[in-house]
Amino acid sequence: MSCKTDVTTRYSMREPLSGRSLWQAVAGSLCILVAAPCAADTSSISGVLEDTKLYFTAPLRWDDGDWLQFGVSLAAIGIAHEQDAKVRDHFVSATDTSKQDQNDLRDAAPLAAMVVGTWAAATLWQDRGGFEEGRVMLEAGALTAISTTLFKVAAGRSRPNETTKVDDWRSGGDSFPSMHVSTTFAVGTVLAESGGDNYRWLRRGIGYGLAAATAYARMDSNAHWLSDTVAGAALGIATAQFALKRRDLHTQPSRLMLLPVDGGAVLTYSVQLE
């Protein structure tokens, strides 16, 4: 889900050149603060604001593939919703409404491990590509955290440790979608789809594996319904795809060409701006 516009500027040689929990609040805030000075194209806050604007207006530019992905995601969430009660009963008693999430910070560990690990490896080997990958992780995580929060407020769904009703919506809850799952899938997808293809299988195993483990842990903790985790996964993956495409767009090389024409030559400079 992306926006891409090619802008070509031509110069002639004959003319002059002219939350709910502490970790959620901290993680979301840190993502935004760290990503701010590392914007994709200009290393400035304006770059982050531009990406944020394009992210939240992306549906206006979706193509058939994007709408298909959106439809498949909705179908998957709907199917998962039908199994919410059964999956909850598999993990805990149907009457368990302790209202305590004992593993909130533990379940954030995979997200932290991927981000810290990426930055640590980049620092150790002074890998510019690794730093860029870490920046994209932060941007994807921050955008996902913001959109997840908006969906939580709109849905207002109660958590399974707060109610026995699967469809307890618009009651002031913050269950749908899962913040842990959405942000971990966002970061995990960036890890999985970055770098060369030599270790693609390993990257995908770690990125998607840790994200899936987080989803399982959130249900095992009775903190989320199955459909909360499916929605979080869909949102995180879609956001990461957006961030990765924005990165690829900004890293497209500019091209300078000298083309012969009648009576002279034309100097052509092509660069993709947005």
pLDDT score of 120 more than 70? yes
Query: For the residues 242-263, what does the mean pLDDT come to?
Result: 69
Biggest CA–CA distance in the chain, Å, is 86
Q: For residue 272, is it within any domain? A: no
Judge whether 155 lies within some domain: yes
**pLDDT tens digits for 133-163?**
999 999 999 999 999 999 999 999 999 999 9
Question: Is residue 1 one of the residues assigned to a domain?
Answer: no
* Helix, coil or strand: residue 259: strand
Give the number of C-alpha atoms closer than 13 A to the C-alpha of residue 114, restricted to the C-beta side. Answer: 32
Report yes or no on 16 lying in a domain.
Answer: no
Please tell me the number of Cα atoms within 13 Å of 179 on its side-chain side: 27
Report the SS3 class of residue 1: coil
In a domain, 6, yes or no: no
Domain assignment present for 26: yes
> Which whole number is the average pLDDT over 217-236?
97
* Of residues 247, 196, 208, the one with CA closest to residue 114: 208
pLDDT grade, residue 206 (50/70/90)? very high
Question: What pTM was estimated for this model as a whole?
Answer: 0.78
Q: What is the pLDDT of residue 265?
A: 58
b (16+ CB within 10 A) / e for 173-186? bbbbbbbbbbbbbb
Mean pLDDT of 249-256: 58
**Residue 215 included in any domain:** yes
Q: Is residue 262 part of a domain?
A: no
Query: How many domains does the chain fold into?
Result: 1
Give the structural domain span for 74: 21-252
